[in-house]
């Protein structure tokens, strides 16, 4: 199959959640103001956060799935998945800062200094920013061997995201426990692979 | 069944067992009859809010509600949000979970067990507990600790009137409330990873409970409480964060020691016993100096400043005179 087509096709798939959210937003703005509930800004924050989390899990899934079904093409899409994950994490932050807090810089700053779940979330976001910023071929070439090491940042980022979720949870840990189990399994798998190859 | 001490009930009010056992059949028949008789008149409200599934005695007691001078004139939060955006963790953590997963809950028949330092202890049918008490409509602000708020037209009876009927002893300094425990009907209670203990427990100091603003709610928006709002009986304390207003109350206990509440037990640093709305005391998770009055829109979050005691300071600040509210948050 044509490589360029494959890459582009994949990018369109990654935009699907965005069109879904966009459709809901359009519905709220032009048709039914209650389509996202009584607190639409908070709904958007939650939606983008969830999508980013799924994509983060998807990134971590690529290597183990690839070894099982031997789909080399999947490995080539890992960077696209990662960049999309950062994109949705950015939308998650933008909707929190812009829609919920309406860019009150003082409150944004206070949240960032005082509220632990926001601190870890922000740190995870910064890590994703570094990864997305160095995901292009030029950076990979420039960094050489160090690129692979740098991009292992995705693991601490995933752990911080789970802590972020754990601290956001108020009355029940079922959801964060599920995601933690998934991430833990993926990390264990990765660790075993590493042990085997060395 | 015991008769509440000091109530106006007599032996003649006690329902014969045969009638009692047949009451569901009776209710069904009379509900059908009533529906046929009054159908044209009720149509508007039923099409807006759906049929009221509560027993007829409760429906009719709620319908006799009189307006209260304690009501605010602020714009009401629409019914669909009051009943579709809830924190009722017994039914799930999502805001729309209580409406989705609360429908299998059966709030009738309902009994309340009263124990502790009172003369009127025992287990009472809800109907007997409420009989003769005047239902009022009170439009209160509800301020959630998560920094959003609503304006809600509750129906209910004065808590003071209800508690007086139970004749608390002078040694009773606190009153604790407990939500029903039915994990088979409340999926949140059955959760393996629950972060709070069930059954849910809340409590008030006696003078807080007897304060005229404190309401034992039986309805909302002119009809009986939907399951997701705490059917059939819930507390409403408008000057405290929403989590104090415990839902689906099954037990009332009078005590001389400050009870440990569910949220204090789960996280004492975040949730104090008093939980008075206080913009000056920040919460580790949410900024309490302002709130988003729901419904908000996507591009205007409808932020309003949060007032001390949720705007009820004039009425209730005296209860806390001399207390350091940054310590007793």
Cβ-in-10-Å burial (0-12, 13-18, 19+) of A43 comes to: buried
- Put simply, the answer to whether B193 touches A174 (Cβ < 8 Å) is yes
Residue with tokens 């409420």: B130
CA-wise closest residue to A52 among A138, A163, A173, A158: A158
Question: In the prediction, which pLDDT does A5 show?
Answer: 60
CA-wise closest residue to B186 among B92, B113, B83: B92
Structure tokens at B259: 């009870």
Mutate to test the interface with B, among A171, A173, A174 (most CBs of B within 10 A): A171
Tens digits of residue pLDDT in A69-111: 887 778 778 899 999 999 999 999 999 999 999 999 999 999 9
A165 to chain B, minimum CA–CA distance in Å? Answer: 13
Q: Are strands B111-116 and B249-255 parallel, antiparallel or unpaired?
A: parallel
Question: In the prediction, which pLDDT does A74 show?
Answer: 81
As a whole-number percent, the residues of chain A with pLDDT over 90 amount to 68
Q: How far apart are CA B247 and CA B262, in angstroms?
A: 13
CA-wise closest residue to A172 among B185, B265, B189, B178: B189
DSSP letter string, A142-182 = HHTHHHHHHGGGHHHHHHHHHHHHHHH-SSB-HHHHHHHHH
Question: In the prediction, which pLDDT does B49 show?
Answer: 75
Chain A residues with CB within 8 Å of chain B CB: 25, 28-29, 33-34, 36-41, 44, 99-100, 102, 107, 110-111, 114-117, 169-175, 177
pLDDT range class, residue A164, cuts 50, 70, 90? very high
- Put simply, the answer to whether B81 touches A99 (Cβ < 8 Å) is no
DSSP 3-state of B210:
coil
CA-wise closest residue to B147 among B247, B273, B296, B297: B296
**Of the candidates A102, A114, A172, which has its C-beta nearest B194's C-beta?**
A172
pLDDT range class, residue A195, cuts 50, 70, 90? confident
Q: How many CB pairs under 8 A join A and B?
A: 80
A36 to chain B, minimum CA–CA distance in Å? Answer: 9
DSSP 3-state of B215:
strand
| A111-125, A140-154, B37-51: least confident range | B37-51
Which domains, and CATH codes, for chain B? 15-51 (no CATH), 65-320 (3.90.420.10)
Q: What is the mean pLDDT of residues A56-70?
A: 87
Q: Is B192 on the interface with A (CB under 8 A)?
A: yes
Other CB atoms within 10 Å distance of the CB of residue B27: 17
What residue segments make up the domains of chain A, in order of their start? 39-197
Does residue A198 surpass a pLDDT of 70?
no
Please give the DSSP secondary-structure letter assigned to residue B270: T
Question: In the prediction, which pLDDT does A6 show?
Answer: 64
From first to last of its 329 residues, what are the pLDDT tens digits of chain B?
454 444 444 444 444 444 444 544 444 444 444 444 443 333 334 446 778 999 999 999 999 999 999 999 999 999 999 999 999 999 999 999 999 999 999 999 999 999 999 999 999 999 999 999 999 999 999 999 999 999 999 999 999 999 999 999 999 999 999 999 999 999 999 999 999 999 999 999 999 999 999 999 999 999 999 999 999 999 999 999 999 999 999 999 999 999 999 999 999 999 999 999 999 999 999 999 999 999 999 888 899 999 999 999 999 999 999 999 999 99
Does residue A126 surpass a pLDDT of 70?
yes
Closest-approach residue (CA) in chain A for B96? A37
List chain B residues with CB under 8 Å of A39. Answer: 85, 95, 148, 292, 294-296
The separation between CA B217 and the C-alpha centre of its own chain, rounded to angstroms, equals: 5
A99 to chain B, minimum CA–CA distance in Å? Answer: 6
Q: How many residues does chain B have?
A: 329
- Are residues A125 and A90 in contact, defined by beta-carbon separation less than 8 angstroms? yes
Question: In the prediction, which pLDDT does B96 show?
Answer: 95
Q: Is B80 on the interface with A (CB under 8 A)?
A: yes
């Amino acid at each position: 199959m044509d490589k360029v087509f494959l890459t582009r096709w994949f990018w369109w798939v990654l935009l699907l959640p965005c069109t879904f959210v966009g459709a809901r937003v359009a519905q709220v703005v032009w048709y039914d103001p209650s389509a996202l509930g009584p607190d639409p800004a908070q709904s958007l924050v939650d939606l983008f956060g969830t999508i980013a989390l799924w994509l983060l899990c998807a990134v971590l899934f690529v290597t183990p799935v690839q070894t099982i079904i031997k789909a080399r093409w999947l490995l080539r899409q890992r960077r696209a998945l990662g960049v999309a994950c950062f994109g949705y994490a950015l939308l998650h932050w933008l909707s929190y800062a812009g829609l919920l807090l309406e860019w009150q810089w003082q409150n944004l700053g206070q949240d960032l200094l005082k509220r632990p779940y926001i601190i870890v979330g922000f740190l995870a976001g910064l890590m994703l920013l570094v990864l997305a910023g160095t995901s292009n071929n030029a950076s990979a070439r420039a960094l050489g061997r160090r690129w692979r090491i740098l991009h292992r940042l995705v693991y601490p980022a995933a752990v911080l995201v789970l802590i972020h979720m754990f601290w956001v949870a108020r009355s029940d840990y079922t959801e964060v426990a599920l995601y933690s189990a998934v991430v833990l399994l993926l990390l264990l798998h990765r660790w075993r692979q590493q042990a085997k190859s060395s | 069944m015991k008769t509440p001490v000091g109530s106006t009930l007599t032996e003649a009010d006690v329902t014969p067992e045969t009638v009692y056992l047949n009451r569901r059949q009776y209710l069904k028949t009379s509900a059908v009859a009533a529906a046929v008789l009054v159908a044209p008149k009720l149509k508007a409200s039923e099409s807006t809010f759906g049929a009221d599934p509560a027993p007829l005695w409760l429906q009719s007691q709620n319908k006799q509600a009189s307006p209260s001078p304690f009501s605010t004139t602020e714009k009401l939060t629409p019914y669909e949000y009051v009943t579709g955006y809830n924190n009722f963790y017994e039914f799930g953590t999502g805001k729309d979970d209580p409406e989705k997963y609360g429908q299998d809950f059966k709030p009738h028949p309902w009994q309340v067990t009263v124990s502790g330092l009172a003369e009127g202890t025992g287990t009472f049918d809800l109907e007997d507990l409420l009989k003769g008490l005047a239902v009022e409509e009170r439009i209160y602000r509800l301020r959630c600790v998560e920094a959003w708020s609503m304006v809600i037209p509750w129906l209910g009876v004065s808590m003071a009137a209800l508690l007086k009927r139970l004749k608390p002893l002078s040694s009773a300094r606190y009153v604790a409330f407990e939500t029903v425990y039915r994990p088979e009907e409340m999926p949140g209670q059955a959760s393996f990873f629950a972060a709070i203990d069930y059954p849910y427990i809340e409590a008030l100091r006696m003078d807080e409970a007897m304060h005229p603003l404190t309401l034992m709610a039986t309805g909302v928006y002119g009809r009986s409480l939907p399951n997701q709002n705490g059917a059939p009986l819930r507390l409403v304390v408008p000057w405290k964060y929403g989590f104090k207003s415990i839902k689906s109350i099954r037990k009332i206990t009078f005590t001389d020691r400050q009870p440990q509440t569910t949220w204090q037990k789960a996280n004492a640093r975040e949730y104090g016993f008093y939980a008075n709305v206080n913009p000056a005391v920040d919460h580790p998770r949410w900024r309490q100096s302002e709130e988003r009055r729901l419904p908000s829109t996507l591009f205007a979050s409808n932020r309003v400043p949060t007032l001390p005691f949720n705007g009820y300071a004039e009425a209730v600040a005296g209860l806390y005179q001399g207390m350091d509210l940054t310590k007793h948050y």
